[in-house]
Structure 1
Amino acid sequence: MTHRPGQLHLNAFLMSSGHHEASWRLPESDPSSVSTNIAFLQQLALTAERGRLDSIFFADGPAQGRDVGRRPSGTLEPTVVLAAIAAVTSRIGLIATASTTYNDPYNLARRFASVDHISGGRAGWNIVTTAFGEAARNFGLADQPSHRERYERAAEFLEVSLKLWDSWEADAEVGDKAAGVWGDSSKVHAIGHVGEHFSVAGALTTPRSPQGRPLLVQAGSSEDGKDFAAQYAEAVFTAQQTLADAQEFYADLKRRAVEWGRDPATVLVLPGIVPVIGATEAEAREKEDELDRLIKPEYARVELAKTLRVHPDDLPLDRELPADLPSEDEIEGAKSRYTLVVNLARREHLTVRQLIGRLGGGRGHRTFSGTAEQVADAIQDWYDHGAADGFNIMPAVLPSGLDDFVDQVVPILVDRGLFRTEYTGTTLREHYGLAVPENRWTAARTAEIAR
């Protein structure tokens, strides 16, 4: 596959002290504040902007679902974080996760439109359905809705949000002091949505934002998730371990996008990669080994048991996974992540202890240890061979892992003509080469005039 020069896309997925679960135990980490120190998060964003990355991304979930003994677990609400980061940056895209299962469309559409205004058009929404029961019990439910129900709600949630973002036409604000007319009422539209899950009168209180709407991102790789992404997503965060699996996912998603009547070039596929960079390959491997030695298996085994829907006692550390695990059809949570973990363990005949080590760096995302040149080679190999439009960079350790990537790997990609030398736009859509969506009301009026 041939890509246009300089069109590789890079997003930095930022997570507390780093993606490796033991990163907080290293001397460089300050585990007391990595998740809630806004100055620390702002500095990471400035580093990513110095590297001219397309965007940064924060995950989120509305429940304290893990043992807090394992790793730093406290978080801030991510759209608030994006607003604070927008104040100190000027170009880097700003993406946050928000659940369609445990939010309402009006408030969430308003929050993301507000971030898009505050940032001058740099907001993105990572759309998730939330795949763990602890969240349900925080919202008055006995358990999470089924996988299919969550995606049906997500589709209607997004349709309502799209209507709300279109409820103000771009030229609704007139500002005519002489005539005493601030806005054109004919260009602000109540959406009047009545559906199975939502009834929303509208219009939004927030005028149309610089991008028209935030960039839409999705991260599920189940069958329902891929169909949802093909219909709506403009960037897709995904996890594959091998080139062949990544190529298969890439081709499948692009095909599905065509079936939904979309240009597949407007659906960007960004697999996750956890780069561990050293001056030599041996140094990089020693860095990774040091992190793995700091994993506490008693915590990691409990987390793995949750993913596999088994009891921790069924996972002896020095044996391979049990033969009688549930099928993917029996999983109501993160189906694609379940399958990825099981396939990895089966394919490489890993013991539970070895699997815990492999998952410690990126929870199923590809971990790659090597020199900056070797990391650049790994990125280019998947990019050149139809497996990715770019990558979700997941530093194992923060801040050093992001510094190493920006200062050592990015210049190599630039020298090879794969990545930008400077930002050429100011909005997230411009970074990703995507147009501002046309407002449905403006389009209808234009079509009516043309008739």
Structure 2
Amino acid sequence: MSDQRKIRLGAFLRGPGHHVAAWRHPDVPANPGLSLKHYAEGARTAERGLFDMAFLADSLVARNGDQPIATFERTGHVAHFEPLTLLSALSALTEHIGLVATASTTYDDPFHMARVFASLDHLSGGRAGWNVVTSADPGAAANFSRDRHLNHAERYDRALEFVTVVKKLWDSYDDDAFVADKASGIAIDRDKIHVANHIGRHFQVRGPLNVARPPQGHPVIVQAGSSDAGQDLAAETAEVVFTAHANIGSAKRFYSDLKGRLARFGRSPGGLKIMPGIFPVIGRTQAEAEDKYDAIQDLIDPVVGLALASGLLGGVDLSSYPLDGPLPDLPESETVKSRFKLVSDLAHDRQLTIRELYKAIAGARGHYQIVGTANDVADLLEEWFTEGAADGFNIMPPIQPSGLSDFVDTVVPELQRRSLFRTAYEGETLRENLGLERPLSGSQLLATQRA
């Protein structure tokens, strides 16, 4: 292993934590999704642990809002901040950590998206990242004056053009276009303005953007789709990929497949960091870790557990099937293809009942789950990293704030002792800390093409 290659870490911040019953745990504050103080503590803890980024997911529907009222009223993560608003606040409360927000290409427009992420990149001094999603929840259509949710292929076709337009808009100006020459009266060098004039299947966007080129050139592009279309989108556009795998074999196959697609788009393997999600329950001993896990598992409400399984299987109604019977054979979901396969395969491979299935996914939701000591967690991360299954990991604390603190205080020092993780931030921007190249500006690209 090269001395230059280090594990990358993201902190997946979710109000109460990632376990479906986290909000009921006595160590979790009430309504954490509406507390800036709570999120600031999480981001600062991750920064203390030298994490590359703090990541916020998002939903354009109230979680379980389309479920019967008995389910909706028992869901502990309905109310939460819009992620870009929250990360703008966190940018003033942190100094080094990257700030990555989820935003949809299905229910927004490229000009607005380019503008808000460029603004966040400026506000944070070059620490912004955009997690590109196509929105898997059909219920979002009703919240945006749409008659229907676009099908899987349509969403990904739109997403590719969307990202292309956003990048053009980020390149509306060269880095040094805003000369502000008071003596001559020239504010912007006209030769360094690049108007997009985009006309495509989904969008017509003239430009230029009304925000200067971002400090990173482009905020870091993150993607999380694992379907075939999702992997193609990632291979063409993404620089970080969040993914879910229940075992190292699956993770290695995905890693090899996705990295192997990059050459088709003129890209090298180092330009894309693959970071599977890891759900760690950490104790000083194995017994303590198992006690922590059992304590939170005991808080699962069967109504909520069943709704979770239904949602990850594409919204299928499981209420008519016995909880202690097997998962029935189901048609493939059109909305959440990769997660549907992961969860259904888990049920069938382990011969789980529906009750056993929702308990198995209540924390990690199909990501890898480990219950053990800090050494156990470090061993796992080292194996996946050195065996070609990951470039880093998106850490999903079971509860907040203690779950992330446990990782930072015990696992990070062990990774550093093994020379697998940094002991100081290498750069000032998210792109620099991830070891990603800064995109050339419009004039730089033209000069390169002419050379």
- Whole-Å Cα distance in 2 between the matches of residues 18 and 386 of structure 1? 28
- The answer to whether 1:378 aligns with 2:357 is no
Q: 2:319 aligns with which of 298, 313, 319?
A: 313
The amino acid across from 2:29 in the alignment is: D
Is the 1:5–1:419 contact (alpha carbons within 8 Å) kept by the matching residues of 2? Answer: no
Is the 2:12–2:394 contact (alpha carbons within 8 Å) kept by the matching residues of 1? Answer: yes
Q: SS in structure 2 opposite 1:276?
A: strand
- Whole-Å Cα distance in 2 between the matches of residues 394 and 3 of structure 1? 27
The amino acid across from 1:332 in the alignment is: E
- Whole-Å Cα distance in 2 between the matches of residues 56 and 68 of structure 1? 29
1:10 alignment partner in structure 2: 9
Is the 2:63–2:75 contact (alpha carbons within 8 Å) kept by the matching residues of 1? Answer: no
2:87 alignment partner in structure 1: 82
2:425 alignment partner in structure 1: 423
Is the 1:95–1:123 contact (alpha carbons within 8 Å) kept by the matching residues of 2? Answer: yes
2:336 alignment partner in structure 1: 334
1:51 alignment partner in structure 2: 49
Unaligned runs of 5+ in 1: none
- Whole-Å Cα distance in 1 between the matches of residues 341 and 2 of structure 2? 30
- Whole-Å Cα distance in 2 between the matches of residues 250 and 73 of structure 1? 33
Q: SS in structure 1 opposite 2:179?
A: strand
Instruction: Please report how far the alpha carbon of residue 332 of structure 1 lies from its aligned counterpart in structure 2 after TM superposition.
Output: 1.6
2:67 alignment partner in structure 1: none
1:347 alignment partner in structure 2: 349
Taking a change above 3 Å as real, the CA distance of residues 6 and 415 of structure 1, as seen in their structure-2 partners, is farther
Q: SS in structure 1 opposite 2:206?
A: strand
TM-score using structure 1 length: 0.96
Q: SS in structure 2 opposite 1:191?
A: coil
State the identity %.
48
Q: How does 1:144-293 map to 2 (within 5 A)?
A: 144-293=149-298
Please give the per-residue CA displacement for 1:251-274, whole angstroms capped at 9, x wherever unaligned: 000001122221011111000000
- The answer to whether 1:95 aligns with 2:93 is no
- Whole-Å Cα distance in 1 between the matches of residues 4 and 429 of structure 2? 20
- Whole-Å Cα distance in 1 between the matches of residues 355 and 205 of structure 2? 50
C-alpha RMSD over aligned residues: 1.3
- Whole-Å Cα distance in 1 between the matches of residues 133 and 77 of structure 2? 22
The amino acid across from 2:321 in the alignment is: L
- Whole-Å Cα distance in 1 between the matches of residues 166 and 112 of structure 2? 10
The amino acid across from 2:433 in the alignment is: H
Greater shift after overlay, 180-189 or 202-211?
180-189
2:135 alignment partner in structure 1: 130
- Whole-Å Cα distance in 2 between the matches of residues 168 and 83 of structure 1? 23
Is the 1:6–1:417 contact (alpha carbons within 8 Å) kept by the matching residues of 2? Answer: no
The amino acid across from 2:24 in the alignment is: R
Q: How many residues align?
A: 443
Please give the per-residue CA displacement for 1:297-318, whole angstroms capped at 9, x wherever unaligned: 1122123223334322343211
Instruction: Please report how far the alpha carbon of residue 5 of structure 1 lies from its aligned counterpart in structure 2 after TM superposition.
Output: 4.8
